[in-house]
Chain A
Amino acid sequence: MQGFVSAGGLCARQGSKTQQTPASVELNGVERPAGFGLKKKGDKKLKKVVSIVLVFVLAFSMAALSGCGGSDDQVTLNVYNWGMNIAEGEDGYINVVELFEEKYPYIDVNYTTYEDNESLYTRLKNGGQSYDVIIPSDYMIARMIDEDMLLPLNFDNIPNYELVDDSFKNQAYDPNNEYSVPYTWGTVGIIYNTKYVDPEDVGNWDLLWNEKYAGKIVMFSNPRDSFAIAEAMLGYSLNTEDPDELRAAADLLIEQKPLVQEYAMDNIYDLMDNEEAWIGVYYAGDCMLMIDENPDLAFYLPEDQTFNVFIDAMCIPANAEHKEEAELFINFLCEPEISGGNMDYIGYGTPVSAAKEYMDPEMANSPIAYPDEETLARGEAFGALSTEATQLMEELWLEVRS
């Protein structure tokens, strides 16, 4: 049971128990009757202090009551997703979480976001907070399965899984389709500002190493995506575990460092939109959102170099508290109408082809979200790296960044 005060904003599940006893105060987990220590009747000062404390307790309990709506069996579902990775009802797009809560009124979704796969992994490893639904990428799913961090899904609760295209099943990260349901897929490419970048320089990853644009280049702040670009430049596999190749990739990143304005994740939105930076590398879906904001921006995939094709899939972590509701949520996101409306906003590819029917045709036919077969053939998916390779990459990345 969480502390009474801290539960104020979060609507403690089965909150009725605490609500019935508003006269008790929990301090350091020890429950004591309110007004403890008030023995001397004449002590006005102490009374004053106690009454101030009581006012605060009352205020907090009111906040807790009004927040929870007084219902008894509310379930709070903790969904942990990437930033900018769900339609939230802005600009006429659907609000996925709200629609879900309307369909299942007894579930409250507590939606929070993380910056990258590595942060998600660390957060889960450190414990403390339990999540019910997470949406990591392919290589991270493989790592999590390896370390027993995910629960096998009960597909009886996810009938919509049948709608997921076969090409997204039996992937290397989850070969038997036990732990994950694909949410989106996409590519990593270059976004640049056509006002400042010479069209002749455009074409491959080399643009990110072009000294003409020193200080105007934004790079990934997570090691896996950054190394993949250097590896593609050098013609290596994006899944190389060879220490020499990783070393060479790190050297290339160190060489690039003086040209880099910022190592960023979602902050790239701001930098590209304001034209503070001219060249960036990011996920295709997000790039489409940026192009919406600033029409001078354009996106391309490298002409004859490898790039990463990723799948983000929904999983349930091992310490989830509401597995069944989590499966309902996963199922809901696979509904063609929801998936379609959702992808309209986030701009990633949907693994549910039936959803395209519900999508804005411009988006459903976008070459950025759905590159042609020939282009996609140059893509390479991330697989899980061995612990040693992951560690080496982290060490080298630290060297690049410090």
Chain B
Amino acid sequence: MKSKALASPYILWMVIFTIVPLAVVAYYAFTNSAGEFTLENLANAATYWPTFLRSVGYAIAACVICLIMGYPVAYVIAQTGASAQRILYLLVMLPMCMSFLLRTLAWVALLRDTGLINTFLGFFGVGPLPLIRNAGSVIMGMVYNYLPYMIMPLYTVIVKLDPRLIEAAQDLGCDSVQTFRRVILPLSLPGIVSGITMVFVPAVSTFYISQKLGSTSDVLIGDIVERQFKSAQNPYLGAAMSLLLMVIVFISIGLMNKFTGDEEVTTI
């Protein structure tokens, strides 16, 4: 009973800032401007499936790249000495001290046709290369912005691995690849799962990155939702899209948890 009482501030917070807004979103998604119940918004939102598909595709690509880049980083950090570990961890976190809008704008200044990189290449008569306004630059923006969310949970899990298990594997004749594949990787699975979740969810619903780094056809679902609320004055469609997106996210997480079997999944 006592632990429940301690959780009450959080429960209150959840109700006011999570449950109530969700209910409002659901309400808007199922009503029209006259306040009547309708499924039209959802049907309408579903016609934007190419945009949903694009958002999911880009987010998956960003996840995979984050995992491939983040895992070795997390592993190396976890293997270093305690003081170096703290510094390295801080370095990973450092970009997050700055607003993500600003960081994205910095990439625009680097990548665009008249940006730093192309100006530099121009001195050697190269370019301008098409570095910006394509799918690659949007995915790169996602990777850059969300990489720390992959590294953090991975690091937390890897650093807690019992070194005796690795030693045992080596004693029993595993080479380093086998040790990694059969011991380290399965044991760090909870970190991988929560890392993917923490990258996928913000990436699939992002809007600013695609506006700044993408071409006019790299529009993501977040951009459309933003417009519905900000200037198109159609919160009904916006809410329906958000709801659909939420369903997609829940299904993805559910699928992932299923594939990882009954491993204990920790979200951080």
Contact = CB atoms under 8 A, between A and B. Distances in A.
Nearest to B216: A260
Contacts of A257: 216-217
B93 interface: no
Most buried by B among A257, A398, A402: A402
Contacts of B224: 398, 401-402
A119 B230 contact: yes
Band of interface residues on A:
20 to 34
Most buried by B among A121, A125, A262: A262
Given A274-B114, A402-B51, A261 B133 contact: yes
Given A258-B217, A261-B133, A276 B231 contact: no
A158 to B, nearest CB: 30
Nearest to A391: B234
A122 interface: yes
A125 B229 CA distance: 11
B216 A398 contact: no
Interface residues of B, number: 18
A211 interface: no
Contacts of A115: 231
Given A274-B114, A402-B51, A222 B231 contact: yes
B232 A118 contact: yes
A394 B114 contact: no
B233 A276 contact: no
A215 B133 contact: yes
Contact of B216 (A118, A125, A258): A258
Nearest to A275: B114
Most buried by B among A122, A215, A260: A122
Contact of A118 (B51, B133, B217, B231): B231
Contacts of A263: 216
Nearest to B212: A262
Contacts, number: 49
A271 to B, nearest CB: 9
B40 interface: no
Contacts of B229: 122
B137 to A, nearest CB: 13
Nearest to B44: A395
Contacts of B233: 118, 121-122, 125, 394
B112 interface: yes
A116 interface: yes
A125 B232 CA distance: 12
Given A122-B230, A257-B216, A402-B219, 11 more contacts: A121-B231, A122-B229, A122-B231, A122-B233, A125-B233, A222-B231, A258-B217, A394-B234, A401-B219, A402-B48, A402-B51
Interface of A: 115-116, 118-119, 121-122, 125, 215, 222, 257-258, 260-263, 274-276, 394, 397-398, 401-402
29 contacts: A118-B231, A118-B232, A119-B230, A119-B231, A121-B233, A122-B230, A122-B231, A122-B233, A125-B233, A215-B133, A258-B216, A258-B217, A260-B216, A261-B216, A262-B216, A263-B216, A274-B114, A275-B114, A276-B112, A276-B113, A276-B114, A398-B227, A401-B216, A401-B219, A401-B227, A402-B48, A402-B51, A402-B219, A402-B224
